Each structure stands twice: as structure tokens, then as C-alpha cells.
């Protein structure tokens, strides 16, 4: 089959690889009808996620038709149309039974690697490094889904691929970011990053009762999309973000701050972001957490910092004193997608949101290597790429 593979920094290819086969009775094989490129895939492409190997099949946002089912899988049938969550979860362990699906303690076959770096292992993810399982991803014609009697959700009739595809990742992720803010109605939320995840977070904040959203980025079409959702916008290259948020919140700060940027924050002129760039470029640091620092700084006393952008290692110069002395709450996760799926499928069915608004580019797998670059460089108005294998 054809699939997108990783071959080192900046080198994504469309290649022929072996077809996946059933390896466990609970597996299913899905013929992929639509998949997408995520901002997290850019961290792979940019070489900032450790333990990738040349030839790894990537992709963790996908959906399609079931073409083969393992003998112990009682939930799926050949022909079912499903969306596949990016997190792989057994459904039975301590964490899965408590709804913390992305903390599944069984699905990562390379647990030991993760325990060395992080103390404990989270769930395995599709197409996202060997430390997170080395499971081949879904930017491919076919994908093997482990524990396929837990993850995939069947698509009700009448919904198109594009309406439901983002249930695999960015919609639940953006929604979780807003959910973490504990909104009761009337709040002002600041959202850093107007990429696809930020866009879902902005709309989710309004769905959950925020009165105002202040969205921060520098890419004009992304800021325009945020305004179309009802957000006020700040260009971090034009204004001092802290001063601008102070002005808009009577000097108090935002009730909640969502970091939807993560480890590869753009270096603005600020001193700390320049240091981050130097340290990561010389392998003295692992992440560039400029946005996280700014989000802490801009959050009001006893507010919440919700972190949905991905970080990998040991973060430097986090203003913890500010957080402790002012009583901030931190919430963060790789999204426990299965926890949010039923609620969000229902919101799509009721017409409360159509996540396909974010799509700007559609193509086949062969064009994916070029589109990775277009998405990375934010060229050609690119906000979200959907691939149809
Ligand atoms: N927690 C999860 O489960 C989960 C799931 C999906 C994606 N993610 C992460 O979410 C993040 C965003 O993903 P995406 O697909 O939207 O990626 P993206 O790269 O398209 O978007 C990031 C945006 O942040 C903006 N940005 C960069 N520096 C900034 C700064 N200093 N201030 C404000 N904005 C800045 C960029 O211009 C860009 O528009 C990534 O880190 C991704 O790995 C996490
Ligand atoms: Zn993702
Ligand atoms: Zn589990």
C-alpha cells in the first residue's frame, strides 16, 4: 500500500510499504477514506520528537471503512464506517476505566522507554515515535487499529467524512482545552495559537459559555478565522501581548489561558524566546516554552492555565513562583479522545458545530510531502490539510 513515511528532519515521503495485517484478536484493519496532517506531525517533521526511525509510517487523524476484523472483536463489522481516535486504549485498565484513555497502561509496547524519560508511560499513539509505541500511523491506504473494540466510533448516517474526521484529534483536543478552563459562563479566555487546534479551542470556549475569547497569533488568515468565530485577535508581532490583555481585562488578566502552540513557539523579539532557540539549536534544551511562560504571566489570580500544545522534555525558566503565589491551576493532557467522542458526535449531529470549517487544502497521498511543507511554512493560506488516499 502507499503511505507517508518519516526519513529524518524535513524528509517525509510517500512510499510503498507492506499492507497491515491482523496481529491480535481485537484488531481491525481500516481502509482509510480520509486523514489529515496535524500540527503534532510538524514536530516529527522538524525532528523535535525523539525515537523516530527511518521509514516509520506517520499519521494519527484518520477514518475509513472496516475491511477486516479480528476474531475477538465483537464491536465492529466489515463495512462499518468509523473515526479512529489518535490515542490507543485497552478500555479495561485502571486508567481506561476511569476515563483517562490517553493514560492507558497497557497499549504502549515500549512502556520501558517512556518510563525512563517520564517516570510512567502514557497510552500508545498512532504514528508518533517509538517511545509512544512505534504503531504505524493512518496517513496510508490501510491502517491496523489495535484494541479496535474500544477506540473507533461508528459514524451515523448522513454525516460526511469531512464533518467527522476531526473527532480523531483536533476537535476533542480543542474542546478539552476549553473544558479544562472550568467555564461557568461570562469568562474571558485567552488562546495562544490560531492553528487548527486553536481554532477548535476558540469555538469550544464559546460553546461552553465564555463571553470573550482573545486569540493570539501572527498569521493573518488564521487571525481572520478566529475573528469569524467571534474572537478578538492580537498579533504577537505587532503588540505586547501582556499589555494588550491587561488593557482588555481591566488590569486583572484573563480568567483562563489556553496554550495551543506548544514546543515550537515562534521566536518573537522577547529575550526568553531567543534563549530558547539557541538552547534547542545547540541541544542544551528540549523545548521552546515561550507561550507557556506568557500564558502564566497573563492569567489572573486563581485562574487556569490549560495546556493542549505538546511539550516533550524538560522545560526551562517556567515562572513557577508566579503560579504558586497567585494560585493558578494547571491542566494538560494528550487528549483522552474516547472520553469526548460521544458528546462531540452529538454536537455535530445537532448542527452546533461543523469542524470542517478549518479545511483549506484537499489532496491525495502523493501530494502529502509537499503539503507538509506548505502547512509548516503557512504558505498558500494553508490552515488544515485533508488527504484522501
Ligand atoms: N494535547 C493533544 O492531545 C494535542 C492534540 C493535537 C495537537 N496538539 C498540539 O497542539 C499544538 C497546535 O497544533 P496545530 O495543529 O494547531 O499546529 P499549528 O502549528 O498549525 O499551529 C500553531 C500556531 O501557533 C502560532 N504561534 C507560534 N508562536 C506563537 C506565539 N509566540 N504566540 C501565539 N501564537 C503562536 C503559529 O503561528 C501557528 O498558527 C501543537 O503543539 C500540537 O502538537 C496537541
Ligand atoms: Zn494531532
Ligand atoms: Zn487501558
Band of the pLDDT at 209, cuts 50, 70, 90? very high
Distance CA 23, CA 12 (A): 27
Helix (H, G, I), strand (E, B) or coil at 251: coil
Interval 29-33 mean pLDDT: 98
Distance CA 249, CA 245 (A): 6
Helix (H, G, I), strand (E, B) or coil at 81: strand
Interval 87-99 mean pLDDT: 98
**Sign (positive/negative) of CA torsion 224, 203, 137, 31?**
negative
Q: Which residue is it, cell 475573528?
A: 227
Q: Cβ of 293: how many Cβ atoms within 10 Å?
A: 21
Task: Name which residue sits closest to atom 19 of ligand 1, judged by CA.
Answer: 39
pLDDT at 274 over 90: no
Residue of 145, 110, 134 whose CA lies nearest to 57: 134
pLDDT value for 47: 92
Q: Which residues line ligand 1 (CB under 6 A)?
A: 38-40, 42-43, 169-170, 173, 192-198, 216-219, 222, 236, 260-262, 265-266, 268, 290-291, 308-310, 334-335
pLDDT value for 267: 73
SS (H, E, C) 136-163: CCCCECEEEECCCCCCCEECCCCCCHHH
Of 203-217, 238-252, 265-279, 334-348, minimum mean pLDDT range: 265-279
- Nine cell digits for residue 175: 474542546
What is the CA(217)–ligand 1 centre distance, in A? 10
Residue among 40, 42, 61 to mutate when testing ligand 1 (max atoms within 8 A of CB): 40
Contacts of 247 (CB under 8 A, 6+ apart): none
Residue of 389, 384, 387 whose CA lies nearest to 357: 384
- Nine cell digits for residue 304: 487556569
Q: Taking all residues of the chain, what is their mean pLDDT, rounded to a whole number?
A: 96
Interval 268-293 mean pLDDT: 82
pLDDT value for 32: 98
For the whole prediction, is pTM greater than 0.75? yes
- Nine cell digits for residue 336: 483522552
Task: Name which residue sits closest to atom 21 of ligand 1, judged by CA.
Answer: 195
Interval 116-134 mean pLDDT: 97
* Residue 22, burial from CB neighbour count under 10 angstroms (0-12, 13-18, 19+): middle
pLDDT at 275 over 90: no
pLDDT value for 278: 82
pLDDT value for 269: 67
pLDDT value for 73: 96
Contacts of 84 (CB under 8 A, 6+ apart): 30, 62, 63, 64, 126, 138, 143, 145, 151, 152, 168
% of the chain residues with pLDDT over 90: 92
Residue among 127, 190, 197, 237 to mutate when testing ligand 1 (max atoms within 8 A of CB): 197
Distance CA 153, CA 167 (A): 9
pLDDT value for 261: 97
pLDDT at 89 over 80: yes
Helix (H, G, I), strand (E, B) or coil at 256: strand
SS (H, E, C) 162-210: HHHHHHHCHHHHHHHHHHCCCCCCCCEEEEECCCHHHHHHHHHHHHCCC
CA neighbours closer than 13 Å in the CB half-sphere of residue 328? 27
SS3 content of the chain, % helix, strand, coil (to 5): 30, 25, 45
Residue 153 · residue 169 · CB < 8 Å: no
Residue of 77, 86, 63 whose CA lies nearest to 335: 86
Residue 196 · residue 38 · CB < 8 Å: yes
Tell me how long the chain is: 389
C-alpha distances in angstroms, 205 versus 61, 281, 292? Answer: 22, 35, 19
- Nine cell digits for residue 84: 479512529
Amino acid at each position: 500500500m502507499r503511505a507517508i513515511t518519516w526519513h529524518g528532519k524535513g524528509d517525509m515521503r510517500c512510499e510503498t510499504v507492506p499492507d497491515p495485517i491482523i496481529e491480535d484478536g481485537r484488531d481491525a484493519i481500516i481502509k482509510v477514506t480520509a486523514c489529515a496532517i496535524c500540527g503534532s506531525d510538524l514536530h516529527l517533521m522538524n525532528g523535535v520528537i525523539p525515537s523516530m526511525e527511518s521509514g516509520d509510517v506517520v499519521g494519527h487523524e484518520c477514518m475509513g471503512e472496516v475491511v477486516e476484523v479480528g476474531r475477538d472483536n465483537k464491536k465492529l463489522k466489515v463495512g462499518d464506517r468509523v473515526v479512529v481516535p489518535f490515542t490507543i486504549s485497552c478500555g479495561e485498565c485502571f486508567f481506561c476505566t476511569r476515563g483517562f484513555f490517553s493514560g492507558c497502561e497497557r497499549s504502549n509496547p515500549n512502556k520501558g522507554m517512556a518510563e525512563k524519560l517520564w517516570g510512567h508511560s502514557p497510552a500508545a499513539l498512532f504514528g508518533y515515535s517509538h517511545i509512544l509505541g512505534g504503531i504505524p500511523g493512518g496517513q496510508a491506504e490501510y491502517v491496523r487499529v489495535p484494541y479496535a473494540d474500544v477506540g473507533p466510533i461508528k459514524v451515523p448516517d448522513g454525516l460526511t467524512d469531512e464533518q467527522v474526521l476531526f473527532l480523531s484529534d483536533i476537535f476533542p483536543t480543542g474542546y478539552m482545552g476549553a473544558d479544562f478552563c472550568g467555564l461557568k459562563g461570562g469568562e474571558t479566555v485567552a488562546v495562544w495559537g490560531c492553528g487548527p487546534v486553536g481554532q477548535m479551542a476558540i469555538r469550544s470556549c464559546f460553546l461552553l459559555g465564555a463571553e470573550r475569547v482573545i486569540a493570539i497569533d501572527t498569521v493573518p488568515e488564521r487571525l481572520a478565522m478566529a475573528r469569524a468565530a467571534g474572537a478578538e485577535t492580537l498579533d504577537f508581532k505587532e503588540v505586547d501581548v501582556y499589555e494588550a490583555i491587561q488593557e482588555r481585562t481591566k488590569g486583572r488578566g484573563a480568567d483562563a489561558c489556553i496554550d495551543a502552540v506548544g514546543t515550537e513557539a515562534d521566536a518573537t523579539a522577547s529575550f526568553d524566546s531567543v534563549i530558547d532557540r539557541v538552547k534547542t539549536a545547540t541541544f542544551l534544551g528540549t523545548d521552546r516554552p515561550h507561550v507557556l511562560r506568557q500564558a502564566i504571566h497573563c492569567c489572573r489570580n486563581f485562574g487556569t492555565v490549560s495546556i493542549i500544545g505538546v511539550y516533550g522534555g524538560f522545560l526551562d525558566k517556567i515562572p513557577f513562583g508566579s503560579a504558586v503565589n497567585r494560585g493558578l491551576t494547571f491542566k494538560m493532557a494528550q487528549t483522552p479522545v474516547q472520553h469526548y467522542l460521544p458528546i462531540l458526535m452529538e454536537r455535530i449531529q445537532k448542527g452546533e458545530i461543523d469542524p470542517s470549517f478549518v479545511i483549506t487544502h484537499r489532496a491525495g497521498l502523493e501530494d502529502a510531502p509537499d503539503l507538509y511543507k506548505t502547512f509548516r511554512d503557512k504558505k498558500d493560506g494553508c490552515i488544515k490539510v485533508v488527504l484522501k488516499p
